[in-house]
Amino acid sequence: MDKVLIIDDDEWNRQIMKETLKKEGYTLFEATDGESGIATARKENPDVVITDYLMPGINGLEVLMELRKLRNNMPVILLTGFGDVGLTIKSIQMGAFDYLEKPVKSSQLKTVVRDALNSVKVSSSLNEVIPDDISTVLVDNLLVGKTPQMKEIFKNIGRISMNKVNILIQGDTGTGKELIARLIHFSGITRDKPLVIVNCSALTESLLESELFGHVKGSFTGSIRDKAGKFELAGEGTIFLDEISEISLNTQVKLLRVIQELEFEKVGGEASVPMKARIIAATNKDLEELIKQGKFREDLYYRLKVFTIGLPPLRDRKEDIRDLVVHFLHKLNKRFNKNVVKIGDGVIEMLQEHEWQGNVRELENTILQAIVMSKADVLEKENITLIARRHSIVESSQGEMQFKTLADLEKYHIKRVLDDLKWNKVEAARFLDITRPTLNAKIEKYDLKQD
């Protein structure tokens, strides 16, 4: 029989709760203050505890903290004064299962206790998934991945981190480009040198140039002193140029010069400064396509991609999802002071079926939201909200195709051309007037298959 402990100094209130819960068939224990309540809990190991907040001696939150030490997944329900918003927030932050406002309604009491008991049952049927404690720094920079694609990437990082070739990281949004850049920087010869990150899309052309190369005093209004640019600050370390596709053609020319001549001039200055940093550039765009459109210089492209790392979208490495979930539970529990250490049945399968347009970042946000919403120590389906699959091709009533986005149209067109040409990719690429690699990239991106 399930055991419920009630801690409250108010005799009348205890009486009412006892009567309600007795009818539900629970075994009841009671205490009139925090200390004796904790003593009873230690002796009887109740399944659920209900505690008042304001009592002589220690208060309900202190009781909660002590009970946590006793058994981590013991649900504690806090009784709060009506409308005491501050306290209810605090109690949930500190890990109370739920709170009930006084005077307690018997129907609410029954529901909350039943929910709490349920959560204990689910919890005790599952094992903890979080590994032994490792340091926060390590957790934050850990790169998870056991699929062959990811292993191959790790191997390549091993190869390239011991010299300073320029690297281009390509991958859809949220696939981990910045994390990879950090890993390359911190695992090789640049480890003890600076890592400087520049988001190329965040600045206008002239600001970006002064940001990259620095400027001398008086070179433009407002430049009241010399300023070192990011290339200078990176020294012999790494400069990470994020969203490289966003830099203007003018700046591209200047960047190309830096790479070729290994030196640069500050804006408004004459003396040249040597460039010794390794450049890692990242993009979620198809640079070859931009070259075709005249928006990106081909010569710069080849200078940047001495070595290329292509990060696969998450939906192509579903086997990593479980490890990623465990990793994020570990990382986010710490950050948000939660204790979700178990994974409910069917959760991983559900996550593996999702499309993950936003890739690993979307997964991380989903887990974060679920952690924040969970009352107990289990990651459960009910707390996971998945962004609905993006609307794709819709057939109208007349049977003609309607496309929501340009990408949908492109996908449909490429598939039709491929099918018409019996998947002869050379011919399809020629017909579509794109290169073979671009065609391959699109086939992969849209997950096209021969019927």
Ligand X SMILES: Nc1ncnc2c1ncn2[C@@H]1O[C@H](COP(=O)(O)OP(=O)(O)OP(=O)(O)O)[C@@H](O)[C@H]1O
Interface residues with ligand X (CB under 6 A)? 142-145, 171, 173-179, 284, 324, 327, 360-361, 364
Residue with smallest beta-carbon separation from ligand X:
176
User: Is the Cβ of residue 341 or residue 363 nearer to Mg ion in the bound state?
Assistant: 363
User: Is the Cβ of residue 142 or residue 432 nearer to ligand X in the bound state?
Assistant: 142
| Amino acid occupying residue 42 | R
Q: Are 80 and 101 in contact (CB under 8 A)?
A: yes
At its nearest, how many Å lie between ligand X and the CB of residue 358? 8
364 binds, among ligand X, Mg ion, none (CB under 5 to 8 A by kind): ligand X
143 binds, among ligand X, Mg ion, none (CB under 5 to 8 A by kind): ligand X
At its nearest, how many Å lie between Mg ion and the CB of residue 202? 12
Furthest-apart CA pair in the chain: how many Å?
A: 88
User: Is the Cβ of residue 63 or residue 309 nearer to ligand X in the bound state?
Assistant: 309
Which residues lie closer than 8 Å to 101 by C-beta, 6 or more apart? 79, 80, 81, 82, 83, 84
User: Is the Cβ of residue 21 or residue 239 nearer to Mg ion in the bound state?
Assistant: 239
Q: Are 30 and 14 in contact (CB under 8 A)?
A: yes
User: Is the Cβ of residue 178 or residue 265 nearer to ligand X in the bound state?
Assistant: 178
368 binds, among ligand X, Mg ion, none (CB under 5 to 8 A by kind): none
Coil, strand or helix: which one is 301?
A: helix
Q: Report the C-alpha gap between 47 and 2 in whole angstroms.
A: 6
176 binds, among ligand X, Mg ion, none (CB under 5 to 8 A by kind): ligand X
Q: For the purposes of burial, counting CB atoms within 10 Å of the CB of 394, is it exposed (0-12), middle (13-18) or buried (19 or more)?
A: exposed
Residue with token string 């020294």: 235
User: Is the Cβ of residue 60 or residue 174 nearer to ligand X in the bound state?
Assistant: 174
User: Is the Cβ of residue 2 or residue 364 nearer to ligand X in the bound state?
Assistant: 364
Q: Are 356 and 386 in contact (CB under 8 A)?
A: no
Binning the chain into helix, strand and coil, the percentages to the nearest 5 are 50, 15, 35
ω into residue 131 within 30 of 0, thus cis?
A: no
173 binds, among ligand X, Mg ion, none (CB under 5 to 8 A by kind): ligand X
Q: Report the C-alpha gap between 318 and 333 in whole angstroms.
A: 23
Residues near Mg ion, by CB under 5 A = 178
Which residues lie closer than 8 Å to 444 by C-beta, 6 or more apart? 316
Q: Are 112 and 4 in contact (CB under 8 A)?
A: no
At its nearest, how many Å lie between ligand X and the CB of residue 31? 45
How open is the CA angle 427-423-428, to the nearest 5 degrees?
25
At its nearest, how many Å lie between ligand X and the CB of residue 283? 8
User: Is the Cβ of residue 226 or residue 323 nearer to ligand X in the bound state?
Assistant: 323
| Tokens at 20, concatenated | 């309600």
User: Is the Cβ of residue 95 or residue 145 nearer to ligand X in the bound state?
Assistant: 145
Q: Report the C-alpha gap between 201 and 165 in whole angstroms.
A: 24
Q: Report the C-alpha gap between 167 and 142 in whole angstroms.
A: 20
At its nearest, how many Å lie between ligand X and the CB of residue 140? 7
User: Distance between terminal CA atoms of the chain?
Assistant: 58
| Amino acid occupying residue 30 | E
At its nearest, how many Å lie between ligand X and the CB of residue 258? 23
At its nearest, how many Å lie between Mg ion and the CB of residue 141? 15
Residue with smallest beta-carbon separation from Mg ion:
178
At its nearest, how many Å lie between ligand X and the CB of residue 359? 7
DSSP 391: P
At its nearest, how many Å lie between ligand X and the CB of residue 176? 3
| Tokens at 129, concatenated | 């998934």
